[in-house]
Amino acid sequence: MITPDAEPVIDVGKVAKLARLRLTPDEEALYAEQLARILGFVGQLSEIDVAGLEPMAHAVEVTDVFREDEPGDSLSHEDALVNAPKQDGRCFVVPAILDGK
């Protein structure tokens, strides 16, 4: 739990790794400070007394939005692949996934 007066400690290296971002030490320092400010800002929410209130699972109070199981249009495979950095006309082509196997 982050309180507004406590300085949140963020492991920017871990967050960057999970997001697959390669950061320079300067960037790490910059983002550490910016993320701390963001968390501090959001942390103000914990000042509100929510005792006795039902937690919300969604920002809008709407439930049960469904579609029927009816087929719609799909893209052609040419259109599906059009943004791929690399493709072979049938599949997306990516660097080897299993390393050393």
Which stretches of the chain bind another protein, using CB under 8 A? 18, 20, 57-60, 62-77, 80-81, 86, 88, 90-101
Taking the alpha carbons of 14, 55, 60, 69 in that order, is the dihedral positive or negative? positive
Shortest distance (Å) from residue 90 CB to another protein:
5
Shortest distance (Å) from residue 5 CB to another protein:
25
Please give the structure tokens belonging to residue 8.
Answer: 């949140």
Identity of the residue, 20 or 22, whose beta carbon is nearer to another protein in the bound complex: 20
Identity of the residue, 25 or 55, whose beta carbon is nearer to another protein in the bound complex: 55
Torsion of CA 83, 87, 88, 91, to 10 degrees: -90
Identity of the residue, 51 or 60, whose beta carbon is nearer to another protein in the bound complex: 60
Shortest distance (Å) from residue 83 CB to another protein:
8
| Amino acid of residue 56 | M
* Residue 12: how many other CB atoms lie within 10 Å: 19
Shortest distance (Å) from residue 17 CB to another protein:
9
Identity of the residue, 48 or 96, whose beta carbon is nearer to another protein in the bound complex: 96
SS3 40: helix
In the numeric block, the tokens 């929510």 are attached to 50
